Amino acid sequence: MKAAVQAGESHLSTASDTSVLRVWHSKLALSARASVACESPEVMHQLVTRGWGDSPIRESDQRSVLYAAERSPTDAERGCGLTGRPSGLLVQSGEEPDWRGLIRDGVLASAHPERVEQVWRRGERAELRVSASPLVSRNGTNGKLARRELLRTREECRTWFCTHLKRAGCTPILASIEVADAERTRAHGRTITFRSFRATVKISDPERFHALLVSGMGRNRAWGAGLVLAR
């Protein structure tokens, strides 16, 4: 579990036995009209980027901006598998955002940014949750990328999730893994599928684990997938 950050500690210790995550988490409540508009992933993405106004964001910081929607009960329980209307967003960023303009414009009902600092050490356990798009790349006969294929069964998605966790320097406790039903939305004329995953993991490589928390998991991160939350 996370520990308190000591003054002067760097993001990654020289021995790589410890990593320190320092990011901003913003809890955003959408206004009624923004909730309707943000059923479009494109509109939701534009809203998130307005947290920095006209200020330039370094490319490295752009990659660390991740977000996830808090949604009303979805039609998935009734078999439709469509994402519900978003009521709020959780945005993670490397730089401090400024949401005051969106509040003045009536887009946000409220915004609560806070600085998050977590210390993760080799051998510790962490509880993870993420809403991700389980896609795999398939190469053609010439060895070049031919297509990206959606994984459809729960077992395929479970294997995909475990593979990503192991690459990120942590070992999942198999009995703890949860894979939710698929939900769908559309962006740029194509269907995007989300699944919620949960697991308890044991950290073997804090540096790679840190990279997972900063950069997210899987594809479609521009449309609200991939934010990994750890505690």
* Mean pLDDT, each 10-residue run in order, the chain (231 residues): 42 68 96 93 93 61 80 56 83 95 96 96 97 84 70 94 97 96 83 93 96 95 95 95
Largest Cα–Cα distance in the chain? 55
Q: What is the pLDDT of residue 9?
A: 36
Which two tokens mark 46? 């534009």
pLDDT score for 138: 72
DSSP 8-class letter at 81: -
The pLDDT, as a whole number, for residue 197 is 97
* Owner of token pair 């059923």: 39
Neighbours of 24 (CB within 10 A): 18
- 160-197 as b/e, with b when 16 or more CB fall inside 10 Å? bbbebbeebbbebeeeebebeebbbbebeeeebbbbeb
Q: Please, where in the chain does CATH 3.30.70.1200 lie?
A: 21-118
Sign of the CA dihedral running 102, 106, 108, 113: positive
Q: Helix, strand or coil for residue 156?
A: helix
The rounded distance, in Å, linking the Cα atoms of 28 and 69 is: 9
CATH architecture of the domain formed by 21-118: 2-Layer Sandwich (3.30)
For CATH 3.30.70.1210, list the domain ranges present in the chain: 123-230
CB 74 within 8 A of CB 64: no
What is the per-residue pLDDT for 165? Answer: 97
Give 123-230's CATH code, choosing from 3.40.50.150, 3.30.70.1210, 3.40.190.10, 1.10.530.10: 3.30.70.1210
